[in-house]
Amino acid sequence: DSGVTQTPKHLITATGQRVTLRCSPRSGDLSVYWYQQSLDQGLQFLIQYYNGEERAKGNILERFSAQQFPDLHSELNLSSLELGDSALYFCASSPRGDTEAFFGQGTRLTVV
C-alpha cells in the first residue's frame, strides 16, 4: 500500500458527461501529480501541484482541469468526455518536487 488513495476505482460514464476523480496523497506529501495511461499513449503526465499551487503542466486537454485543496487532496475534473478519454488515471504524491513519487491504485475510466 503506497498510502495514496484514489477514488473511485472504476467509473463508467457516457460521452459528453463530466466526472471528478479524487486523490488523497500520502501524509506529509506536498506534491501531487496526475497521469493518464492508455494503451496507445503510454503513461502521460498531465499536471503537478505543489502545496496548492500548479507547478508543472503536461499534455492536459483544455476539457480537463485539476486543483489541490488546502488539506492537500486533489481533484481532476474531466468534462465533455469522449470515447478516447477512456484510460487509467493515476495520482501520485511525493514529499516535494523531484523526489520519487508514490502512486495510487488508479481510476479506470470507461466512456461509452
Partner 1 sequence: AQKVTQAQTEISVVEKEDVTLDCVYETRDTTYYLFWYKQPPSGELVFLIRRNSFDEQNEISGRYSWNFQKSTSSFNFTITASQVVDSAVYFCASRQLTFGSGTQLTVLP
Ramachandran bin of 98, using left for φ above 0, alpha for ψ from -120 to 50, beta for the remaining angles: left
- Provide CB contacts within 8 A for 99, sequence distance 6+: none
Contact residues for partner 1, defined by CB under 8 A = 2, 33, 35, 42-45, 48, 56, 58, 88, 90, 92, 94, 97-106
Tell me whether residue 45 or residue 86 sits nearer to partner 1 (CB atom): 45
Q: What are the φ and ψ backbone dihedral angles of 83, each rounded to 5 degrees?
A: -55, -35
Smallest separation, CB 30 to partner 1 (Å): 13
Tell me whether residue 16 or residue 43 sits nearer to partner 1 (CB atom): 43
Rounded distance between C-alpha atoms, residue 81 and residue 77, angstroms: 10
Tell me whether residue 8 or residue 58 sits nearer to partner 1 (CB atom): 58
Smallest separation, CB 81 to partner 1 (Å): 21
